[in-house]
Structure 1
Amino acid sequence: MQRKGRRRIKTAGELAVIILAAVLAGCGGSSGEEPATAAPQTGTYVEKEPPQENRVSDNMAVYADDDENSVVTMYLTVRQGTEGDNTNHTWTEINTYSAYYYDDNEIPRYNCEALLQIGDENGPAEGEFGYGETVANAAVQIRGQTSSKREQKNYKIRIKEEKGSWRGQRTIALNKHVGDPVRFRNKLAYDLMKNVPEMISARTQFVHLYVKDETEGGNGVFTDYGLYTQVEQMNKTYLKNHGLDNRGHLYKINFFEWYRYDALKLKSDPDYDEAAFEKYIEIKGNDDHTKLLDLLDKISDYSIPIEDIVEQNFDSQNICYWMAFHILTGNYDVGSRNYYIYSPLNSEKWYFISWDNDAAFSRTYHEWKDYSEGKSWEQGMTQFLHSALFERMFKVDRYRAQLSAAVEDLRANYLNREIMSQKISEYSEVVKPYVYRLPDLTYSLVSQENYDMLLNGMADETETNYQYFLESLERPWPFFVGTPYVEDGRLEVLWDTSFDMDNESITYSFALATDYSFQNILVQEEGLRLPEMTFDLLPPGQYFIRVRAKNASGYEQDCYDYYSMDSGGKAYGAKCFYVNEDGTITEHENTEGNETE
């Protein structure tokens, strides 16, 4: 207790406050004058737009030197390197094993050391990358997944860090596009989209590749490997070259429908498994997943209006133009894979970037082959609606209107028949001579006569796909069918409800058959108002269910389920299941195999 009349000693903190107050008082002047006041605002008031985040857009300067119809000649000398960097393999080994061999054995893909040189048809050229060099400046391996089973391989060349870059790129992907009869659909798509302000594209280049094999068993002379397409790899270097934030988040979508899958965790989570994470989305940029996972939680929270989520976390113009482009080009293989998402470091917004457009402009070829892909719900906007994000977003009228506006703009100004015909003609003049001479002639999918027929049909595909888009606006939405189960001595099956954009009433038809073409139907019902059906128990065997939705205007829609036919392609709207000997039910799992990169 402090005694009365005794002076209390001030603490160091109190002294500091007094000194600070004195200093501040001194700053105000010691002459006793009034402190200065702000100058009066005499300007005429004008309304100002509040600060807004800049819209992300592509850096058009990166395409300034593009010659879309040119062919770059690359010379690749391959050698055996060291075990330490996994380059101690022969060129024969590199080309023998598919990606599945490495996956099954849980080993990295084999590499060779490589000397990459750029030149012309005479040889490496002075002033070009690698000219005059004799020491390896790169490593090479196969790339792709299903495509790695093909005899003609795709390659990934990685230039060593101390050896510089080619056109600002150190990773060079060479794609053979063996499933593309015209061999330029992917490049055509990228070159078209780079002119669309709302989209972000990638640089491409036709490449004539020669390989000299100096590994064990090689012939030591340059061998013609034919025509490839080089596609710019999307990584931190890509972000920097395109004027984007290379500190930001970049993910490649492998299979992802905007759900918070169990494998998607933060790196700090004790159960984090990067390999499991990347089965859904590959990490190509910043690996702090907090922003992405928070967004997925919001999308799954139906108490948050989807409009709030879209406006805060996306650029709706970017989404709508990205979707519209793939709708009009008929690229049906993009709903849950084959694209990237990008977000700058200090932004909440995410942007869509296209990747692997091999399915684009394929309708004429598929119809000629009677191949069932890109049909049913994979036409128009419905190909995207199994995604949690898009299923919520496009139930909102204004986003559908925005998508329709993007479709109309692209159809009129970027993908019209005049533009398409000119591009197709120019590219075919470059590509066709390579396709119909060795070595590519051996693997050509069509005759020269049919090649020209496909070119003529491709120019009209945009208009055909536009009509499919208009039809998709009239149809009910697709939905998933559950696996049958035994209930009270009968089989019961449930399915999700469909949705109609005009709020029309919906009924369902149901069929059970022993074949996916539904020639041998066992049970059939029409006009069902509830999304369920029961029927008698079945003997052991393979069975197929078909459920269709029909609105009051008479438009029908298949369910999302399909059966991958042995001959290739899909039997749309057919869900396959098996009744086992013990009466249990097993759902059939489709094997995906339509990758053509």
Structure 2
Amino acid sequence: MKKIPYVKTTLILLAVFFILILLKNLSISTGNVQVVEPTEEIQVERNAGDEPLVEDKRVYEGHDGNQVKHVYVTVFDQKAVPDNDLTFYELNESYKEYSNLDDGPKLQILFQTGTAEGPEKNGFLKTDQSANATIELRGRSSRLEAQKSYKVRLNDNGGLWFGQSVLNLNKHADDKTRVRNKLAFDYFEEIPDLISLRTDFVQLHVKDLTDPKNDGTFEDYGLYTHIEQLNEEALAARGLNPDGHLYKAENFEFYRYPDKLKLSNDPDYDKKIFESVLKINGSENHEELLTMLDDVNDFSKPFDEVFTKYFQEDNYLTWLATNILFGNYDTMSTNYYLYSPLNSEKWYFIPWDFDKALGRDAERTDAFPDWQNGIQRYWGTVIHKRYLRDPKNIEKLNAKIEELSDIINEEATKEKIDSYYPIVKPFAVRNPDLRFLSIEASEFDHYYNNLETVTTRYKKLYEESLEYPMPIFLNHERKGNQDIFKWETSHDLQEEKLTYHFQLGTDPTFQSSIISIKDAKKFTYETDKLSPGRYYWRVLVKDEKGYTQIPFDYYKDPSKIVHWGVQEIIVPKGAKK
């Protein structure tokens, strides 16, 4: 006779039933939500992005950035490589034709490494007759310099240079010290809540076979600073998710930009237009980015909730504080990355490009607005403006600056620049770099040694900036029979009463004003149509203690003199009936 299975099955079911009852009672008695449901497990995965931005510091082990590396580039002519239909000289002049370097030309090259004596027979020297890489111009303002900066891309079968397939060779021609960018990223290696990028001193040697005068030898192009390309390889090397979202700010103030930033499946999506705001370096699925921007620009939502949902506060404060301590005036809407790992709503700030920091402003020959020196320079960007309105957040920023000052200080800076000096000085005072140096060779030490105290100066300027009202934007429009002048409300961190001085004149220095209202009661001024001509206007903001602030706007006159805080209006002939 067969055994009846029902008894065994019944016992199993009863056991399961009593276990479920026991679990339910435990949940009720403790008042806790059960954590065994699948949906809760998914929620844990979604919250993985709540973690701080932590890189694996082992990526820097064995990396000696103070050892000059020698790169040899052979530029093939069209006889050897048919695709090389322009010369190296024409490549260097191509910025005149291509305003967007992403559309600019590139040349097939042979990339080699070696010593000061010449290229060595290593993995890159499989043959001296075939191309293994390309070279192109890089940089925005640097392409206008006599000495160009270059991007070298190694072919898939061309090997890797210290684990990297892209080399960014920066000349930093307008940096009299030649070390500002390297100094910043060497500091970032020591700073938590940010990631750094490996930087190296590189001597570039070029054999230009497109030049009929070339005799087959390499020409010394002088000293360059290489910085690691932030891409999937760099993220993976730091233990970060390489398959997430990565955008480089090109002209980005955290507005929604609905006419430019669209989903990639939108019929009106244009990648070039999109990348005029944010360059895409990761996924082209922009849904998470646009959702975040919608919420950041939705003023009906409490900002604290929006910020906590999308950003990691230590990362944000560290990024902001280091830019302040380094005096990086070129980071309001550009020169940083936004990174969001896969399966995370969080967005992290990653620094990029500091050759216009660390004292570069003191070397400028043109006037420099005071709002560039402290907290005010970030007021034109939505996320900064919303975050910094809260006095508690200013206290957090102050605390972060004090915390970082234990790392970023004069003693640490001196130690770093002293280690660079024996490398940089000999290159700076000899050709080819000496030929294009913007100072006398005897002045090099003066400018170089000024680096030691710059972070102290910027910290003081930041503290002073807290007393000043915030800059505003101006807006003029002609409507019907009137000219209408509008301006934003300013903000004072001490919540003092602010007054607004409206001025309209025919010269940008306001030696004589057509209209001057020292205590404007409204944020708009209307007048009958102006007669044809050129006009200039501004609004000065003053707090109760007398601290005065100018607008963000500026006007550059025919002599290229910048008049900060001024907006020009041109009324053409025939405009007034």
2:240 alignment counterpart: 244
Distance 1:83 1:504 in 2: 71
Distance 2:184 2:556 in 1: 27
Distance 1:141 1:127 in 2: 24
Alignment partner for residue 65 of structure 1, among 62, 65, 68?
62
Residue 457 of structure 2 corresponds to residue 464 of structure 1? yes
Instruction: From the superposition, tell whether residues 33 and 251 of structure 1 become closer, same or farther in structure 2 (CA, over 3 Å).
Output: closer
Instruction: From the superposition, tell whether residues 214 and 474 of structure 1 become closer, same or farther in structure 2 (CA, over 3 Å).
Output: same
- Identity value in percent: 35
Distance 1:414 1:107 in 2: 37
The answer as to whether partners of 2:138 and 2:149 remain within 8 angstroms in 1 is yes
Distance 2:388 2:94 in 1: 44
Instruction: From the superposition, tell whether residues 209 and 569 of structure 1 become closer, same or farther in structure 2 (CA, over 3 Å).
Output: farther
Distance 1:174 1:25 in 2: 78
Distance 2:280 2:462 in 1: 33
2:400 alignment counterpart: 406
Residue 202 of structure 2 corresponds to residue 210 of structure 1? no
Counterparts of 1:349-364 in structure 2, within 5 Å, are 349-363=346-360
Alignment partner for residue 446 of structure 2, among 412, 433, 453?
453
Residue 383 of structure 2 corresponds to residue 389 of structure 1? yes
Task: Spell out, residue by residue over 1:86-145, the C-alpha distance to the aligned partner (whole angstroms, 9 max, x if none).
Answer: 5443222222221x51248x9942222211111111112355644765532111111123
Distance 2:349 2:443 in 1: 35
The answer as to whether partners of 2:52 and 2:193 remain within 8 angstroms in 1 is no
Quote how far apart the aligned CAs of 1:564 are: 3.3
SS in 2 for 1:529: coil
Distance 1:34 1:145 in 2: 68
2:423 alignment counterpart: 430
Give the TM-score of the pair, scaled to structure 2: 0.88
1:13 alignment counterpart: none
Q: What is the RMSD of the two structures over their aligned residues, measured on CA atoms?
A: 3.1
Task: Spell out, residue by residue over 1:1-22, the C-alpha distance to the aligned partner (whole angstroms, 9 max, x if none).
Answer: xxxxxxxxxxxxxxxxxxxxx9
Unaligned stretches of 5+ residues in structure 1: 1-21, 586-597
The answer as to whether partners of 2:468 and 2:548 remain within 8 angstroms in 1 is yes
Instruction: From the superposition, tell whether residues 569 and 164 of structure 1 become closer, same or farther in structure 2 (CA, over 3 Å).
Output: farther
Quote how far apart the aligned CAs of 1:32 are: 8.6
Alignment partner for residue 137 of structure 1, among 132, 157, 162?
132
Distance 1:156 1:581 in 2: 49
1:161 alignment counterpart: 156
Distance 2:210 2:299 in 1: 59
1:561 alignment counterpart: 553
Distance 2:16 2:102 in 1: 79
SS in 2 for 1:460: helix
1:476 alignment counterpart: 469
Unaligned stretches of 5+ residues in structure 2: 36-42
Instruction: From the superposition, tell whether residues 234 and 265 of structure 1 become closer, same or farther in structure 2 (CA, over 3 Å).
Output: same
The answer as to whether partners of 2:469 and 2:542 remain within 8 angstroms in 1 is yes
Counterparts of 1:156-235 in structure 2, within 5 Å, are 156-215=151-210, 217=212, 219=214, 220-235=216-231
Quote how far apart the aligned CAs of 1:196 are: 0.7
The answer as to whether partners of 2:483 and 2:526 remain within 8 angstroms in 1 is yes
Alignment partner for residue 505 of structure 2, among 493, 513, 517?
513
SS in 2 for 1:533: strand
Deviates more, 1:572-581 or 1:26-35: 26-35
The answer as to whether partners of 2:502 and 2:539 remain within 8 angstroms in 1 is yes
Quote how far apart the aligned CAs of 1:229 are: 0.7
What letter matches 1:353 in structure 2?
I
1:496 alignment counterpart: 488
Distance 2:496 2:244 in 1: 44
The answer as to whether partners of 1:87 and 1:110 remain within 8 angstroms in 2 is no
Quote how far apart the aligned CAs of 1:81 are: 5.9
Task: Spell out, residue by residue over 1:238-277, the C-alpha distance to the aligned partner (whole angstroms, 9 max, x if none).
Answer: 2212221111000011001111111111011111111111
Alignment partner for residue 93 of structure 2, among 91, 96, 101?
96
The answer as to whether partners of 1:142 and 1:148 remain within 8 angstroms in 2 is yes
Quote how far apart the aligned CAs of 1:584 are: 6.9
SS in 1 for 2:492: coil
